[in-house]
Amino acid sequence: MSERGETSRIRYDEGCLAAHALSLIGDRWALLLVRELMFAPKRFQMIRTGLPGITASVLIGRLTQLQEAGILVHDERLGVYSLTDAGRGLLPVLEALCRWALTVPGHDPSRFISPSALMISMGVNLVGERASGRTALAGFAFGREAFEMRLAGGRLSTASVAKLDTPFVLSGNGNAMAAAVYGTAPLPLLIAKGFIGAQGDVSAAQDFVDMFRLEPQP
């Protein structure tokens, strides 16, 4: 489908499994739309908020395509879109793309970062040696969205939640939070300057974000 809203879909006349996958999710915006629904169902406008470069007509087209492909479903009564099991199964694909992107030049972290994008990114950029043997519970608030991140057994699990009950909560937009997680400035300085907000144990929050590094992991 083009940016003008045509309903044609990229199709490849090949028996290759990768080509089959790309016929379903290879159109522009498709995987990023999946990213925005990875942690929770959303209404149309909230999805669009996480994809500021997309037009309404293109988003409608992509939602229709992904619904036809069995990647998502639309609850017309509630007005929300949510991923199917097949859609949620694309999380490792998004994570693999993040890992690959770290190995090639041109990434610009100053450009828009959605909350869901940051949560997926953090799952990729946890430094194993720093996280080994540790447990932690973290809260991240992005206005209308909130996430609980749990570290156990060297692995992160992330969930969208309606209410946070964690030892600390960091708040801000996606870009500010990414700078707090991956940057070198200490959290107390960022908080004092109003760059991000914080509630609870700031020392525990600092220990938590220090376990992440924006570079290829071994």
**124 within a domain of the structure (yes/no):** yes
Last residue of a domain, one of 61, 89, 117: 89
For residues 84 and 178, state if they share a domain: no
**5 within a domain of the structure (yes/no):** no
The residue whose two tokens read 């909130």 is 146
pLDDT tens for the chain, 218 residues long, are 344 444 556 788 899 999 999 999 999 999 999 999 999 999 999 999 999 999 999 999 999 999 999 999 999 999 999 999 999 999 999 999 999 999 999 999 999 999 999 999 999 999 999 999 999 999 999 999 999 999 999 999 999 999 999 999 999 999 999 999 999 999 999 999 999 999 999 999 999 999 999 988 77
Strand partners, 146: 141
For residues 137 and 163, state if they share a domain: yes
For residues 151 and 59, state if they share a domain: no
Residue 189's domain comprises: 97-209
Last residue of a domain, one of 59, 89, 119: 89
Task: Show the tokens assigned to 205.
Answer: 């929050």
pLDDT in tens, 90-101: 999 999 999 999
**11 within a domain of the structure (yes/no):** no
Strand partners, 145: 142
For residues 101 and 73, state if they share a domain: no
CATH for 31? 1.10.10.10
**102 within a domain of the structure (yes/no):** yes
Helix/strand/coil (H, E, C) string of the chain? CCCCCCCCCCCCCCCCHHHHHHHHHCCCCHHHHHHHHCCCCEEHHHHHHCCCCCCHHHHHHHHHHHHHCCCEEEECCCCEEEECHHHHCCHHHHHHHHHHHCCCCCCCCCCCCCHHHHHHHHHHCECHHHHCCCCEEEEEEECCEEEEEEEECCEEEEEECCCCCCCEEEECCHHHHHHHHHCCCCHHHHHHCCCCEEEECHHHHHHHHCCECCCCCC
Beta-carbon neighbour count of residue 118 at 10 Å? 20
Last residue of a domain, one of 89, 119, 137: 89
**216 within a domain of the structure (yes/no):** no
**2 within a domain of the structure (yes/no):** no
pLDDT in tens, 39-75: 999 999 999 999 999 999 999 999 999 999 999 999 9
For residues 79 and 138, state if they share a domain: no
Structural domains in the chain (count): 2
Please name the residues in contact with 129: beta carbons below 8 A apart, sequence gap of 6 or more: none
> What rounded mean pLDDT belongs to the chain?
94
CATH for 114? 3.30.1050.10
For residues 63 and 109, state if they share a domain: no
For residues 129 and 188, state if they share a domain: yes
pTM of the model: 0.93
